[in-house]
């Protein structure tokens, strides 16, 4: 059984796949306690892999067309996601199964796309997308992770003035080190889940 916080259909709001239709499977629970985390872990439901896939398939608008991407997120999905769930999603027709992880535990090998947002105790050394949350206080670093794409994402601290300051600092950091690109949380900017 997996502890599921939420399953919803929306658009990917950040990183390389910004704007792409995506079904999010949000797992409950994490091995870190980041102050900026936007997941409410107070409630969850227990579901089997088959129940998860069934619910996800109900959200697909056109069963004969191109399926949206799947985003396994959390919390920390590596604490619960295994190769079997990913195999079932692939068998159901989903060609792109992605995961957003803090990188403290290695993901299943059959995953199609891995986004690592490192905080501490990082184990993962290679991913497709490295997304570092930038708060204007810490030095920008890749934590020794090799990635295809490197993103700095301004931390949303809930204060419009401070957020604007952090975005400005983030842009200056990227200009100093152009291997990084800017990732904005477009879902928050335009008001969708």
Of the chain, the percentage scoring pLDDT greater than 90 comes to 77
Residues 6+ apart with CB under 8 A from 181: 149, 150, 151, 152, 174
**pLDDT reading at 35 higher than 80:** no
Of the chain, the percentage scoring pLDDT greater than 70 comes to 93
Q: Number of structural domains, the chain?
A: 1
Q: How far apart are CA 159 and CA 156, in angstroms?
A: 8
**pLDDT reading at 61 higher than 90:** no
Confidence band for 188, pLDDT divided at 50, 70 and 90: confident
Q: How far apart are CA 96 and CA 22, in angstroms?
A: 10
The shares of helix, strand and coil residues in the chain, as percent rounded to the nearest 5, are: 25, 30, 50
Residue 80's domain comprises 2-189
Tell me the three state secondary structure of residue 70. Answer: strand
Query: Is 38 among the residues known to form the active site?
Result: yes
Query: Is 127 among the residues known to form the active site?
Result: no
- CATH number assigned to the domain comprising residue 77: 3.20.20.70
Confidence band for 63, pLDDT divided at 50, 70 and 90: low
Query: Which of 6, 90, 173, 187 is flagged as catalytic?
Result: 187
**pLDDT reading at 68 higher than 80:** yes
Element (H, E) at 99: strand 97-101
Query: Which of 6, 18, 30, 165 is flagged as catalytic?
Result: 30
**pLDDT reading at 41 higher than 90:** no
pLDDT (mean) for 62-91:
93
Q: To the nearest whole number, what is the mean pLDDT of the chain?
A: 92
Q: How far apart are CA 27 and CA 70, in angstroms?
A: 13
Query: Is 95 among the residues known to form the active site?
Result: no
């Amino acid at each position: 059984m997996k502890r599921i916080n939420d399953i919803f259909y929306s658009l990917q709001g950040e990183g390389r796949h910004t704007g792409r239709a995506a079904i999010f499977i949000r797992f409950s629970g994490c091995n870190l306690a980041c102050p900026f985390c936007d997941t409410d872990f107070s409630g969850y439901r227990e579901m089997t892999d088959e129940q998860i896939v069934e619910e996800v398939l109900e959200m697909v608008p056109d069963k004969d067309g191109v399926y949206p991407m799947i985003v396994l997120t959390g919390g920390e999905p590596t604490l619960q996601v295994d190769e079997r769930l990913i195999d079932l999603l692939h068998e159901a027709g989903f060609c792109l199964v992605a995961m957003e992880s803090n990188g403290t535990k290695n993901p299943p090998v059959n995953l199609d796309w891995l986004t690592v947002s490192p905080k501490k105790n990082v184990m993962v050394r290679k991913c497709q997308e490295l997304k570092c949350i930038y708060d204007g206080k810490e030095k920008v670093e890749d934590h020794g992770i090799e990635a295809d794409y490197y993103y700095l994402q301004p931390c949303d601290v809930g204060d419009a003035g401070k957020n604007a300051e952090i975005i400005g600092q983030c842009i200056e950091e990227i200009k100093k080190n152009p291997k990084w690109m800017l990732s904005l949380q477009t879902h928050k900017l335009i008001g969708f889940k």
